[in-house]
Amino acid sequence: QPDMSATKCVLIDLQRRDTKSSALLDQLAERGLACPVFLLGRTQDEIAAAAAKRLGAIIIDKPFNVRLLAQKIRAAVSAAAP
């Protein structure tokens, strides 16, 4: 498992085919991830939506404005900084 202690932000594309979003979110929560998590796309999976809520993830619907996403990431990372 990779060391995520220096991770500042995580972006997850909800249209990934290789891993269920809910399983990935649960793994991040189990590791005690303490950085902002952004989910890109719409989640119709209620389990993934519940896991995202528990983790405090921010859901960004597609299509999205790249500049707006960058602003949200900078704001979330700054707010999470010690």
DSSP string, 16-50: -SSS-HHHHHHHHHHTT--S-EEEES----HHHHH
Give residue-wise pLDDT tens across range 20-50.
Answer: 777 777 788 888 778 898 988 876 667 777 7
pTM: 0.77
pLDDT average, residue stretch 51-58: 80
Residue 8 has which token pair?
């500042």
80 vs 41: CA distance, rounded Å: 23
User: Which pLDDT score, from 0 to 100, does residue 71 have?
Assistant: 95
